[in-house]
Amino acid sequence: MGDANPIRTLGDYSRPSHEGYRNTIKILEGNNVVPLRSDTIRLVQNGLFQWTWESGIRLRTAKLRNDIFMFQQHQGESLSEAWTRFKDLLQKVPHHGIDLWLQVQIIHDHVNSFTRRTIDQSAGGKLRD
């Protein structure tokens, strides 16, 4: 009987798996026009679609999430400084929903090659393995 919680590496997490998923995209025939919902059309026609405080918060949150995914180590910045800056970004969006393994992968993939080698050496080999 297999182990219920097998040990997984960072590389295991980064490989896509389609197990348990099915294709939910439906290809439209004809002119490939995506129909809009009638309530959406009415909102636009009646001028009821407005910028709200909540939509501004959502946009800011989306931008911060994008900043997390596009994180880059600054030139001359140490690993410690980069990690602190990355954690500060994460704290700005407390409900970011980014799994810990993905956070580690983001920081590993977006530091300079010297820092990446240092991380890999500290892990006793390539971090992904």
Residue type, 41: I
pLDDT tens digits for 17-42? 666 666 555 655 665 555 667 776 67
Average pLDDT, the chain: 79
Query: Is the pLDDT at 11 greater than 90, yes or no?
Result: no
Stretch 53-71: mean pLDDT: 80
Q: Are 73 and 111 in contact (CB under 8 A)?
A: yes
How does pLDDT run across 69-90, given as a tens digit for each residue?
999 999 999 999 999 999 999 9
Instruction: State the CB neighbour count (10 A cutoff) for residue 107.
Output: 22
Q: What is the pLDDT of residues 86-108, one digit of tens each?
A: 999 999 888 888 888 899 999 99
Specify the higher pLDDT residue, 58 or 101.
101
Q: Which amino acid is residue 122, in one-letter code? A: S
113-122 helix and 79-92 helix, angle to the nearest 10 degrees: 90
What type of residue is 98? I
pLDDT above 80: residue 67: yes
Calculate the CA 96 to chain-centre distance. 9
